Amino acid sequence: MKISRNAMLFTILVQLLLATFAAGQIRREVNFPDILGYKTLKCDFHMHTVFSDGTVWPTVRVDEAWREGLDVISITDHIEYQPHKQDVPTNFNRSYEIARPGAREKNILLIKGAEITRETPPGHFNVLYLEDIDPLDTEDLIDAAKAADAQKAFIFWNHPGWKPEHKGWFDIHTQLYENKLMHGIEVANGGSYYREAHQWALEKNLTMMGNSDIHQPALERQTTTENHRTMTLVFARERTAEAVKEALTEGRTAVWFQNQLIGRSRYLEAIFRESIEIGKPHHRARSAIWVTIRNHSAVDVEMDRTGSQGPAKLALPANATTLLKCGTEEGAEQLKLSYVVRNFLIAPDKGLPVDLTIDLR
């Protein structure tokens, strides 16, 4: 039977659409261990849709988040900046309402949020856990922050180094901070890491945040150690919106930015300990042993030796097993290798010190 050209093209188009739909339903899991009795949740608290200056419908953000292995998201459209208002009515609560059914279907926790938008300084601030966004639509920044605080919201400073010519901690930031109207700060946003913000977070006990600030469609089909969405790891008592808020308030977070983890030493050390599995030596010579080390996490672990034993540099690729040969003393019962994990940042330019203990018995 002869098939017309149009029928053939139609068939091909249908197949492509079906293939695209099927691909969109595949979730690429991001592996980070649960630590210290908490669940590790992958989160993005900064993204935009056509209801401000993004280019996608709110449901697309949910689909992208599920596909990329996220557990928790917040759509934070600008309150003051509405470039599509001739086409999309200004309705600050609408993007959340549209996204909510799909988030429930895909088991994504959706937090109601918005972005307060001001010139830099003082800059932009994201507000999470809102009941109603409308009261934040006010000219004065402090009044907007107080309206958020009245709803017991969580407020964080976005991309503090976005405009280098104006970056810095100004009096307005001190006013927000001292009045408990700023609880966190982005140390990473999209493809940028802010060294000063990292230091401020440590000095002022602000919750460390890392988010995508995505405006365009997410085109990545596979997450890798280098090519992935910037995200916040939240260590929550359980997988609920309320538990996530408690963890944010208490500062139990770390940031996954490119092939780096950024956070307080307590949490990064726990991630390292739960991720790295050291086997027993499976082969021995007079002065050497061979052992496997398994990295169960999504980040390549890159280490520099600080002790006297082991290779000068040791790389443990994500979700992979590394074969290691080490020299030993005859009759030794234990071998301790001391390193610093250079891509686990516990402070600007400061990696996490760790010991790898190998049982030789």
pLDDT tens, position by position, 277-305: 999 999 988 889 999 999 999 999 999 99
Could you check whether the bond before residue 217 is cis, i.e. omega within 30 degrees of 0? Answer: no
Does the global pTM surpass 0.85?
Answer: yes
Task: Between 223 and 184, name the one with better pLDDT.
Answer: 184
pLDDT of residue 221: 62
What does pLDDT average to over the chain? 92
Considering its fold, how many domains does the chain have in total? 2
CATH number, domain of 100, equals 3.20.20.140
Residues 243 and 322 in one domain: no
Residues 202 and 342 in one domain: no
What residues make up the domain containing 180? 24-263
Q: What is the 3-state secondary structure (H, E, C) of 181-222?
A: CCCEEEEEECCEECHHHHHHHHHHCCEEEEECCECCCCCCCC
Contact at 8 Å (CB) between 120 and 160?
A: no
Model confidence pLDDT, tens digit, residues 37-47: 999 999 999 99
For residue 6, CA distances in Å to 17, 18, 33, 151, 267 come to 16, 18, 52, 57, 59
Confidence of residue 331 (pLDDT cuts 50, 70, 90): confident
Residues 247 and 101 in one domain: yes
Confidence of residue 12 (pLDDT cuts 50, 70, 90): very low
Residues 349 and 258 in one domain: no
Answer yes or no: is pLDDT of 9 > 70: no
Task: Between 63 and 332, name the one with better pLDDT.
Answer: 63
Distance CA 133, CA 112 (A): 9
pLDDT of residue 6: 58
Could you say which of 230, 263, 296 is where a domain stops? Answer: 263
CATH number, domain of 339, equals 2.60.40.3090
